[in-house]
């Protein structure tokens, strides 16, 4: 009897398990960090700063100079122009009121070879029987005038540097045989040994002790329109110097220059 009761209990237990199913497995508790929302990483586009266009008007320079050629032809003169000594030259600048600038030599002796006129529509400059001494810059500009007076119109100008070549004069002639050049430590000093042809090879020399002074292009440089330039003069550069030029023939020597250093 006892065996039958035990067997009945086992059958009832198995039946109940089939009805209600197996006990569920305990779920693993989530870690605190797993409940956090991961931040999304956004790719930021680089900002491009646009430059504002300037509203200020840009002054456009207009060249108003022309050179009168033979047979009524005209041309805009280049920055540097070469002519033979003895030739005549005519320049014109467009405008009702024109001012001219030219080598000082032409003003020194009230040279009658130079003629300047103001015509209705342009200014005219004529130079006859030119010489090596006339080598230099010729420029013009229009004048802006009102009830208060006149001023230079920076937008209407013209400039050309003219070499009047002469085989006998490689250097632009000077009325003096000796010149003094004052050297200041706070500004460049210029030794004005200009030449009459742009192709001339020019060197600078010290008289005593006799030696060539090298132009390195930095401390000492040569400008064909000005001469030798000492950018930062110093006291030991004082003394007597001269220039030597050579172009297709025998070299020529300039006048002498006494360099005097002046303390500030």
pLDDT at 6: 57
The domains located in the chain, with CATH, are 62-165 (2.60.40.10), 178-261 (2.60.40.10)
- Written as one string, the DSSP assignment of 9-60 is HHHHHHHHHHHH-SPPPPPPPPPGGGGSPPPP---PPPPPPPPPPP-SPPPP
Dihedral sign computed on CA atoms, order 202, 203, 208, 210: negative
Per-residue pLDDT tens over the stretch 239-258:
999 999 999 878 999 999 99
Is residue 117's pLDDT more than 90? Answer: yes
Asked if pLDDT for residue 41 goes beyond 70, the answer is no
Torsion from C-alpha of 119, 93, 154, 190, nearest 10 degrees: -120
The number of C-alpha atoms within 13 Å of 17 and in the hemisphere containing its C-beta is: 9
> Which tens digit of pLDDT belongs to each residue from 128-169?
999 999 999 999 999 888 878 888 888 889 999 999 999 899
Q: Do the Cβ atoms of 171 and 163 come closer than 8 Å?
A: no
Q: For residues 154 and 61, give the distance between their C-alpha atoms in angstroms, rounded to a whole number.
A: 7
What is the arrangement of strands in the sheet containing 122-127, beginning at the earlier edge strand? 74-75, 65-68, 89-94, 122-127, 114-118
What is the model's pLDDT at position 167?
A: 86
Rounded to whole angstroms, the Cα distance separating 209 from 259 reads 14
Q: Are 227 and 247 in contact (CB under 8 A)?
A: no
Question: Which of the pair, 31 or 85, is modelled with greater confidence?
Answer: 85
Whole-angstrom distance, CA of residue 101 vs CA of residue 141: 9
**Pair 254, 169: CB distance under 8 Å:** no
What pLDDT, in 10s, does the model give residues 7-38?
Answer: 555 655 565 555 455 554 555 555 555 555 45
DSSP state of 166: -
Q: Which helix (H) or strand (E) holds 106?
A: helix 105-108
Residue 110: the pLDDT is 74
Contact 233, 241 (CB under 8 A): no
Q: What is the DSSP letter of 61?
A: P
């Amino acid at each position: 009897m006892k065996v039958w009761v035990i067997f009945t209990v086992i059958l009832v237990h198995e039946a109940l398990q089939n009805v209600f199913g197996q006990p569920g497995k305990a779920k693993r508790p989530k870690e605190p960090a797993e409940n956090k929302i991961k931040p999304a990483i956004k790719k930021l586009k680089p900002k491009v700063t646009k430059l504002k266009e300037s509203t200020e008007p840009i002054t456009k320079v207009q060249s108003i100079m022309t050179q009168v050629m033979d047979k009524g032809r005209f041309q805009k003169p280049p920055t540097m122009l070469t002519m033979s000594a003895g030739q005549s030259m005519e320049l014109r600048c467009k405008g009702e009121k024109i001012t001219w600038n030219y080598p000082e030599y032409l003003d020194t002796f009230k040279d009658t070879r130079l003629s300047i006129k103001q015509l209705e529509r342009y200014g005219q400059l004529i130079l006859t029987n030119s010489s090596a001494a006339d080598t230099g810059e010729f420029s013009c500009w229009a004048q802006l005038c009102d009830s208060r007076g006149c001023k230079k119109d920076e937008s209407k100008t013209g400039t050309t540097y003219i070499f009047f070549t002469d085989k006998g004069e490689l250097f632009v002639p000077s009325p003096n045989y000796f010149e003094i050049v004052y050297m200041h430590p706070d500004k460049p000093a210029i030794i004005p040994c200009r030449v009459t042809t742009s192709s001339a090879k020019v060197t600078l020399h010290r008289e005593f002790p006799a030696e060539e002074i090298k132009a390195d292009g930095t401390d000492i440089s040569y400008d064909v329109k000005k001469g030798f330039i000492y950018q930062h003069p110093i006291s030991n550069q004082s003394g007597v110097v001269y220039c030597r030029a050579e172009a297709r023939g025998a070299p020529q020597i300039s006048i002498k220059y006494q360099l005097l250093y002046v303390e500030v």
